[in-house]
Amino acid sequence: MPATKSKSAKSKSSKSTAPSSNGAAPILRQHAEEQFATELAVLADADDRQRPPNWNLSPWAVATYLMGGTVGDTEISPKYVGQRRLMEVAIATLATDRALLLYGIPGTGKSWVSEHLAAAISGDSTRLIQGTAGTSEEAIRYGWNYAELLAKGPSFQAIVPSPLMNAMSDGKIARVEELTRIPADVQDTLITVLSEKTLPIAELGEEVQAVKGFNLIATANNRDKGVNELSSALKRRFNTVILPVPRHADDEVQIVEKRVESLGRALELPAEAPALTEIRRVVTIFRELRSGVTEDGKTKVKSPSGTLSTAEAISVVSSGMALAAHFGDGSLSAADLAAGIYGAIVKDPVQDAVVWKEYLETVAKDRDDWRDLYRACRELG
Amino acid sequence: MTVTVFGIRHHGPGSARSLARSLQDFQPDIILVEGPPEGDAAVPFVAQAGMKPPVALLVYAPDQLQQASFYPFAEFSPEWQALRYALEREIPVRFMDLPQTNRLALRAKQEEKGEVEVSQEKSEEKPEGEPDEEDSPELLRRSLPADPLSWMAEAAGYGDSERWWEHLVEQRQDGTALFDAILEAMTALREEVEKKHPPNLENPLDRLEAQREAHMRQTIRQAQKEGFGAIAVVCGAWHAPALVEPLPTRKSDQELLKGLPKLKVQATWIPWTYGRLASSSGYGAGITSPGWYEHLWQSTGSGDRPTETAARAAIQWMTQVARLLREEDLDASSASVIEAVRLAEALAALRESARPSLEEFNEAAQTIFCFGDPAPMELIHQKLIVNDRLGQVPADTPLVPLQQDLQRQQKRLRLKPQPMVKVLKLDLRKPLDLGRSQLLHRLNLLEIPWGEVRSARSQGTFKEVWELRWEPELSLKVIEAGVWGNTVESAATASVKSQAEKALFLADLTNLLDQVLLAALNTVISPLIERLQEVAAIASDVTHLMEALPPLVNVLRYRDVRQTDSAAVAHVVDGLVTRICIGLPGACASLDDDAAKQMVHRINHTHSALKLLQQDSHLQSWLTTLQQLGNRTNLHGLVTGRCCRMLLDEGTLDPTEAARRLGLVLSLTTDPTQAAVWVEGFLQGSGLLLIHDDAIWQVLDDWVTQLPGETFIALLPLLRRTFANFSDPERRQMGERVRLGRQKVTTEEREYDRDSADAALPLIAQLLGLQPPSTTSQG
């Protein structure tokens, strides 16, 4: 399939030249393999272990890239903060040519991990299919260039390959984001690809067979459960790794603080940088409700229906900052946070309201330094 | 004359396998095993048919039953294999550790001095892992670091010593040369450790270690003296360097062992469980995964070609996991088994170990069988990895201490086990009777149902009536209960702990707490209350909360509880009441007749519990909730009616308002059945009250009298439904009261029927124990 290959090569070259032709306008967000190019190069140099066919790095080096470490004199920054064993399972899965499904509540870094895995293994994280309710079979298999098709009839030249098809013929990693958002009948297109490692082109009586090194990383959201549940045939072809929420409060506080700071700068909010104590309180509330146990481990509480991810904690704090800046005295107070917290937690007006009220009365009320927050929340609820 | 030392890890299947093979090659004519010499007499039982591990060798002091040591053995324990080998070959086998006679005496002395606070649980753990850190109770510390093996593990690039040992020794399939290597490694390690942390003979724990090794050496010397040619010594790897030739001078050892205190001890076998072999149970030399070790032991028993057997063990394990999941209705196909084995192997390769260990298998199983979900792994852990099961001992093994303790208590409390039913009335103010009651309650907690309570002392009385009957199978239950502890008290405590961990429902826990207080198991009260708090906080079902409340209030009001504990219970009660008040209105919505009946039942109980509690704030919020319920029109009539009635009784609802509501409900527009159940709820169980309580009577009376005649006739059937439930005399009295009308309310004049009164007098006199009055009676 020479045509297919040249096409992918072309699109790649055009992509790499685009920024320079546009002049100095900075790119909003770089791909992982570009942003961490030096780290990847250092790892590849130092890596003398066995690499699976068509992998840029050995599994061991991929694990180091994700979890961070030191190679020679170069510090490798950690990309994933959490349990090492999860990343090891993910990498081992890809090495045994099983597809990988990253599963978890929104905001736990599934897409982030998937991007970095693809970048480290294939050196290219751009073979991406975004799953939506409108994703069609063409987006997963291949489409047609209708001008070519009408002019010359069905041929390889007339095929517009999907990122998946490209990945198969190049022996690279393809990514599918939000697999469970894709309608069930379209999802099942993947079954043949994953079990037979081939993509038939019925119109030409041909097929594209996957080259060694091809694999698929999908992400799915377990809050969408039941929307487009994976068929058991498909589910069976994935190894599933569930990414949990941050285990330690300090990690989470740090993540929230960093993100809020950078968000605040981007939105040019005049409010002071939020006090660490306020962030800590928000994170504590979220963690306690999410895990169902207070941080001291002594009291259990009920969990609301919402996810309460780290990402939502970030949004509560930043909206609190906006409130403080525009309507308050400029510094973040409990009253600025209360509305945001209530909105994030009470997603179901009946059940969640009870959960929240119980939490306020049994946990928040007893904490002496939480008086202001308790009062502010009481007024709202 | 050769002495060969085999350094093993207790309960290590790899060690056991290598040991069995090495013994074949070595052909010893005597085996010395690390263990208490008092157990020598019990060794022959090992070969009996009824002996099925896991079992434990129990050494105890008959006069001080709390002083005891357990030496658990599994099929895959190297010591067990050594014992079996010796018995099969009919060569002598001896235990060589420092006798428990001395060790228990030492410990008893230390406890007396108050140096060590050894809890029962702690003191049970005896046989040491390769480093003896678990021998050191909380307060005293060995001079050695806690886990010297971790030095070697770190040097080899492992995170923890368990994993390192597992990879190097336990998973090894070949290796008769293994023991030389272990000996060499341990010699180097001990030299290094002792250089940095020299043992200090003033420290009682270091001294004990030295004494133990001295005694082991003495035993070896004794065997040499008796002329044995090939002496095999099986001990924890840590001790191995101390036992090899050349042995230090006999004199220094004799000096160390001089003047040790003594205590009379006995040894016997008792059944043990894998659960108590697991380190999670608090057993110091415990292993995390007995079931997995058993699998390793069984699947690689023959093993001529190590790599193949290992691969087969992996596949068998994964298949077992799959079958277990299938039994529990979770999908696990053969294709998944294949993938899981592959993933486990890939993971092992990524972590640079030769073959997957349990960790890799678990991760592979979670990823592939459970779709990443950790919940089913808990099942695998319980059923396969720990695989809790009870061992068996032959029927003719000597009495266990729990039996002896029970006999002693029976004697002390003058309670004889008898097969026929006997009723026992106890006055709990007397110490003897209180002791009896506590013993019986404790036995009940151990599921040894010797007695059954006929009348409880829930209302704070001093009487308790028991029905006793000793069935023969209770003796068996006592032996089984021996797993929990050596005295009735400690066993009951341990059993309650485990019951509390398993209990899912709040009511179970509150009842357990009540029983524990009756049984006076004071040490377990606090943990139980903690557990109660935990469960109470997540219990979402208001009905469960309501069921849990009355026993707790009982505890607060009537039981003898320490100050701190009662504060904790009060805290739980506070939480319960708050949440019942928040949740009750929701829980009362859309109930059918049966559910409403039960709900009213619970409301009644909660109400009386709160009244008993006499705490104004709680009562206030409870009444507010009742008011909410009473005001709602869309609830089941029984509930609203009942709530209005309670409010009336409490004075929150004034009588005119109550009458107005009664009128509203009974107005003709209301659905008749709804109205009927409302009245039923309102008047429930109050036949007598209606006669004697003017307020309610007045409400009802006011309402009836203001009804127009026709309406009254229309409503009559509904009212009849309620009144038909009252007893005949009650109804007759009501009728009389109606006939007398209002004036009767104030005046109490009544026409006495003197004849009838006289007729009753002799009987009353007899009841009161007086002389019958002299008036003549008319029969």
Residue B709's SS3 state is helix
Distance from CA of A90 to the nearest CA of B (A): 9
Q: How far apart are alpha carbons A186 and A136 in whole angstroms? A: 6
- Residue A12, domain member (yes or no): no
pLDDT value of position A143: 92
pLDDT value of position B455: 65
Tokens coding B164: 């390192």
* CB neighbourhood size of B418 (10 A): 10
A239·B363 Cβ contact <8 A:
no
Contact predicate A228/A180, CB 8 Å: yes
Pair (A136, A257) in one structural domain: no
Could you tell me which residue, B400 or B56, shows the higher pLDDT?
B56
Pair (A263, A335) in one structural domain: yes
Tally of domains in chain B: 5
Q: Which residues of B touch A299 (CB under 8 A)?
A: 533-534, 537
Nearest CB to B339; choose among A98, A354, A362: A98
Pair (A104, A65) in one structural domain: yes
- Residue A206's φ and ψ, nearest 5 degrees, are -120, 180
Pair (B191, B229) in one structural domain: yes
- A103 close to B (CB below 8 A): yes
Nearest CB to A358; choose among B346, B535, B582: B582
- A244 close to B (CB below 8 A): no
Pair (A231, A275) in one structural domain: no
Q: Which residues of A touch B329 (CB under 8 A)?
A: none
Pair (B257, B318) in one structural domain: no
Across the range B140-148, mean pLDDT stands at 62
pLDDT higher than threshold 70 for residue B208: yes
Pair (A264, A296) in one structural domain: yes
pLDDT higher than threshold 50 for residue B124: no
Across the range B367-386, mean pLDDT stands at 84
What are the tens digits of pLDDT across the range B290-318?
888 888 888 765 545 566 777 788 888 89
pLDDT value of position A214: 93
- Residue B692, domain member (yes or no): yes
pLDDT value of position B137: 39
- Residue A62, domain member (yes or no): yes
A357·B350 Cβ contact <8 A:
no
Contact predicate B77/B65, CB 8 Å: no
- A300 close to B (CB below 8 A): yes
Q: Which chain B residues in 307-346 lie under 8 Å from chain A, judged by CB atoms?
A: 331, 333, 335-336, 339, 342-343, 346
- Give the range among A59-73, B71-85, B507-521 with minimum mean pLDDT: B507-521
Across the range B425-443, mean pLDDT stands at 85
B578·A239 Cβ contact <8 A:
no
Q: Which residues of A touch B368 (CB under 8 A)?
A: 239-240
Pair (B755, B736) in one structural domain: no
Pair (B573, B717) in one structural domain: yes
Amino acid identity for residue B298 in this structure: Q
Q: How far apart are alpha carbons B104 and B276 in whole angstroms? A: 22
Pair (B771, B725) in one structural domain: no
pLDDT higher than threshold 50 for residue B120: no
- B540 close to A (CB below 8 A): yes
pLDDT value of position B284: 62
Could you tell me which residue, A197 or B579, shows the higher pLDDT?
A197
Q: How far apart are alpha carbons A53 and B13 in whole angstroms? A: 38
pLDDT value of position B352: 78
Pair (B606, B579) in one structural domain: yes
CA terminus-to-terminus distance, chain A: 64
The C-alpha torsion from B332 through B337 and B340 to B341, rounded to 10°, is 160
Could you tell me which residue, B13 or B703, shows the higher pLDDT?
B13
Q: How far apart are alpha carbons A266 and A322 in whole angstroms? A: 12
pLDDT value of position A24: 63
Q: Give just the sign of the alpha carbon dihedral B679, B680, B686, B691.
A: positive
Burial B128-167 (b: 16+ CB within 10 A, else e): bbbbbbbbbbeeeebbbeeebbbebbeeeebeebbbbbbb
pLDDT value of position B133: 39
Nearest CB to A103; choose among B350, B372, B535: B372
B372·A242 Cβ contact <8 A:
yes
pLDDT higher than threshold 60 for residue B774: no
Pair (A328, A254) in one structural domain: yes
A89·B534 Cβ contact <8 A:
no
Contact predicate B485/B445, CB 8 Å: no
When pLDDT is cut at 50, 70 and 90, the band that residue B262 belongs to is confident
- Residue A23, domain member (yes or no): no
Work out the widest C-alpha separation in chain B, in whole angstroms: 118
Amino acid identity for residue A334 in this structure: A
Q: Which chain B residues in 352-371 lie under 8 Å from chain A, judged by CB atoms?
A: 352, 363-364, 367-368, 370-371
pLDDT value of position B127: 38
pLDDT value of position A43: 92
Pair (A179, A150) in one structural domain: yes
Angle at which helices B637-650 and B694-706 cross, to 10°: 120
Q: How far apart are alpha carbons A282 and B58 in whole angstroms? A: 54
Contact predicate B270/B392, CB 8 Å: no
* CB neighbourhood size of B235 (10 A): 27
Pair (B186, B237) in one structural domain: yes
Distance from CA of A201 to the nearest CA of B (A): 28
Across the range B244-271, mean pLDDT stands at 82
- Residue A289, domain member (yes or no): yes
- Residue A17, domain member (yes or no): no
pLDDT value of position A218: 94
B367·A298 Cβ contact <8 A:
no
Contact predicate B392/B52, CB 8 Å: yes
Tokens coding A202: 């019925």
Distance from CA of B150 to the nearest CA of A (A): 21
Contact predicate A253/A283, CB 8 Å: yes
Residue ranges of chain A with per-residue pLDDT less than 70: 1-24, 224-226, 258-259, 262-274, 297-298, 381
Angle at which helices B506-519 and B542-558 cross, to 10°: 20
Residue of B331, B338, B350, B373 to mutate for A, most A C-beta atoms under 10 A:
B350
B339·A239 Cβ contact <8 A:
yes
Across the range B95-120, mean pLDDT stands at 73
Pairing of strands B266-271, A173-177: unpaired
B455 half-sphere exposure, CB direction, 13 A CA radius: 12
Q: Which residues of B touch A217 (CB under 8 A)?
A: none
Pair (B220, B77) in one structural domain: yes
Tokens coding B234: 């099986």
Tokens coding A39: 């780290």
Spatial CA neighbour of A345 closest among A374, A316, A366, A317: A316
B347·A92 Cβ contact <8 A:
yes
Across the range B51-80, mean pLDDT stands at 82
Nearest CB to B538; choose among A239, A241, A302: A302
What are the tens digits of pLDDT across the range B716-746?
877 777 787 777 888 888 888 878 765 544 4
The DSSP 8-state label assigned to residue B234 in this structure reads E
- Residue B507, domain member (yes or no): no
Contact predicate B80/B73, CB 8 Å: yes
Residue in chain B lying closest to A86 (CA): B363
Tally of domains in chain A: 2
Q: How far apart are alpha carbons A45 and B366 in whole angstroms? A: 34
A302·B533 Cβ contact <8 A:
no
B538·A354 Cβ contact <8 A:
no
Q: Which residues of B touch A63 (CB under 8 A)?
A: 350
Pairing of strands A159-161, A142-144: antiparallel
pLDDT higher than threshold 80 for residue B72: yes
- Residue A20, domain member (yes or no): no
A98·B343 Cβ contact <8 A:
yes
Q: How far apart are alpha carbons B600 and B657 in whole angstroms? A: 22
Nearest CB to A299; choose among B347, B372, B537: B537
Pair (B56, B167) in one structural domain: yes
pLDDT value of position A167: 94
A240·B336 Cβ contact <8 A:
no
Q: Which chain B residues in 39-78 lie under 8 Å from chain A, judged by CB atoms?
A: none
Pair (A363, A277) in one structural domain: yes
What are the tens digits of pLDDT across the range B440-453?
888 888 888 888 88
Task: Tell me which of A242, A271, A291 is where a domain ends.
Answer: A242
Token pair 């909360």 in the structure block, residue: B545
Q: What is the mean pLDDT of chain B?
A: 78
pLDDT value of position B142: 60
Pair (A126, A53) in one structural domain: yes
pLDDT value of position B460: 53
Residue B322's SS3 state is helix
Non-local CB neighbours of B453 within 8 Å, separated by 6+ positions: B464, B465, B466
- Residue B28, domain member (yes or no): yes
Task: Tell me which of A226, A242, A258 is where a domain ends.
Answer: A242
- Residue B634, domain member (yes or no): yes
Tokens coding B15: 């060690």
Nearest CB to B534; choose among A85, A96, A300: A300
Looking up residue A144, the CATH number of its domain turns out to be: 3.40.50.300
Q: Which residues of B touch A239 (CB under 8 A)?
A: 339, 343, 367-368
B372·A241 Cβ contact <8 A:
yes
* CB neighbourhood size of A145 (10 A): 14
* CB neighbourhood size of A6 (10 A): 10
Contact predicate A217/A117, CB 8 Å: yes
Pairing of strands B451-455, B93-95: unpaired
Task: Tell me which of A219, A242, A265 is where a domain ends.
Answer: A242
Residue of B341, B352, B367 to mutate for A, most A C-beta atoms under 10 A:
B367
Q: Which residues of A touch B331 (CB under 8 A)?
A: 232
Residue of B347, B358, B526 to mutate for A, most A C-beta atoms under 10 A:
B347
What are the tens digits of pLDDT across the range A219-229?
998 776 657 88
CA terminus-to-terminus distance, chain B: 106
Token pair 């010395």 in the structure block, residue: B32
Spatial CA neighbour of B193 closest among B129, B148, B162: B148
Amino acid identity for residue B406 in this structure: L
Q: How far apart are alpha carbons B675 and B672 in whole angstroms? A: 5
B582·A357 Cβ contact <8 A:
yes
pLDDT higher than threshold 80 for residue B159: no
Domain that holds residue B765: 751-779
Pairing of strands B451-455, B463-468: antiparallel
* Rg over CA atoms, chain B: 36
A89·B343 Cβ contact <8 A:
yes
| Angle (CA) B491 B380 A244, round 5° | 110
pLDDT value of position B119: 39
A354·B363 Cβ contact <8 A:
no
Pair (B411, B377) in one structural domain: no
- Residue B540, domain member (yes or no): no
pLDDT value of position A197: 92
pLDDT higher than threshold 50 for residue B251: yes
- Residue B60, domain member (yes or no): yes
Spatial CA neighbour of B302 closest among B173, B459, B117: B173
- B351 close to A (CB below 8 A): yes
Pair (A311, A238) in one structural domain: no
pLDDT higher than threshold 50 for residue B122: no
Domain that holds residue A340: 249-380
Pair (B329, B444) in one structural domain: no
Distance from CA of B331 to the nearest CA of A (A): 10
Q: How far apart are alpha carbons A59 and A120 in whole angstroms? A: 10
Which conformational region is residue B710 in: left (phi greater than 0), alpha (psi within -120 to 50 degrees), or beta? alpha
Token pair 């979220």 in the structure block, residue: A286
What are the tens digits of pLDDT across the range B316-335?
889 989 998 888 888 888 88
- Residue B545, domain member (yes or no): no
Q: How far apart are alpha carbons A162 and A143 in whole angstroms? A: 7
Pair (B64, B195) in one structural domain: yes
A239·B336 Cβ contact <8 A:
no
pLDDT higher than threshold 80 for residue B555: no
- Residue B542, domain member (yes or no): no
Distance from CA of A94 to the nearest CA of B (A): 9
Could you tell me which residue, B563 or A339, shows the higher pLDDT?
A339
pLDDT value of position B297: 83
A96·B342 Cβ contact <8 A:
yes
Across the range B554-559, mean pLDDT stands at 74
- B533 close to A (CB below 8 A): yes
ipTM, 2 decimals? 0.72
Distance from CA of B660 to the nearest CA of A (A): 33
Q: How far apart are alpha carbons A176 and A196 in whole angstroms? A: 18
Q: Which residues of B touch A354 (CB under 8 A)?
A: 582-583, 586
What are the tens digits of pLDDT across the range B608-660?
888 888 888 888 888 888 888 888 777 888 888 888 888 888 878 777 777 77
Amino acid identity for residue A314 in this structure: I
Pair (A189, A268) in one structural domain: no
- B575 close to A (CB below 8 A): yes
The predicted model scores a pTM of 0.63
DSSP element (H, E) containing B436: helix B431-445
Contact predicate B690/B683, CB 8 Å: yes
Pair (A279, A147) in one structural domain: no
- Residue A176, domain member (yes or no): yes
